[in-house]
Amino acid sequence: MTWEELEYLCHNCHNCRLGEARHNVVIGVGDRKSRILFVGEGPGYYEDMQGEPFVGAAGQLLDKMLASIGLDRSKVYIANIVKCRPPNNRDPLPDEQEACIKYLRVQFKLIRPEIIVCLGRIAAKAIIAPDFRITRDRGVWHNKKGIDIIATYHPSALLRDESKKRDAWEDFKAIRDKLKEKENEKGQNDEQ
């Protein structure tokens, strides 16, 4: 599938109830050839109005965290588990996630990232393991089909509880190091 086909399908999607009330489908933003993909939960009010992920308060914090490891939203790709806003910012329901995750899988195939970062519990449960517990299991690398995957706190959780920021900073340093490590591996392979 091409990006154009994916966009067409998403813009016309009514596979779950979230499609009924949306202002915009929020497909994703950033570099479609990025080595790293960040996945959140689902659009909030501002994202729904603007059609772009992470543009509200949580997004501003995410931008700062990306900057702290030398990245910005134009150099990474950012998407969500569901592409339409759940009412009153509730968690996306299991059937809504199931209806939408196939579009994210297409994005995985098109982008072919080396690293996936799950932002928060909903993304980690959907991508890493259904029994994932964010406080217990964040900051640990997993490998699936050759892709390195890690979960960290959702930026909204950090806005609610500042004491989580220290762990999140450790996770972001681990992400920076993993990117470097992979770059070095690639450099060595290119030399051989």
Write down the least CB distance from residue 163 to ligand URA, Å: 20
Stretch that binds ligand URA, among 11-19, 36-44, 107-115, 163-171 (CB under 6 A): 36-44
Using CB under 6 A as the binding criterion, the count of chain residues that bind ligand URA stands at: 11
Nearer to ligand URA, 59 or 113 (CB): 59
Q: How far is CA 177 from CA 70, 112, 117, 134, 180, in A?
A: 12, 20, 13, 21, 5
Q: Which 3 state secondary structure label does DSSP give 51?
A: coil
Closer by beta carbon to ligand URA, 30 or else 42: 42
Beta strands (DSSP E) in the chain are 29-30, 36-40, 77-80, 115-119, 142-144, 147-152
Classify residue 14 as exposed, middle or buried by CB count within 10 Å of its CB (0-12, 13-18, 19+): exposed
Residue 22 identity: R
Residue 26 near residue 53 (C-beta atoms within 8 A): yes
Task: Kindly identify the residues of this chain, within the stretch 108-147, that bind ligand URA according to CB under 6 A.
Answer: none
135 or 184: CB nearest ligand URA:
135
Of 30, 34, 37, 47, the residue at the interface with ligand URA (CB under 6 A) is 47
- Which of 53, 86, 92, 113 binds ligand URA (CB under 6 A)? It is 53
Pick from 41, 48, 96, 171: which binds ligand URA (CB under 6 A)? 41
Angle at 85 between CA 73 and CA 42, to 5 degrees: 45
Return the closest-CA partner of residue 43 out of 59, 30, 31. 59
25 binds ligand URA per the rule CB under 6 A? no
Contact positions with ligand URA (CB under 6 A) in 76-115: 80
Q: Would you tell me which residues interact with ligand URA (CB under 6 A)?
A: 40-44, 47, 53-54, 58-59, 80
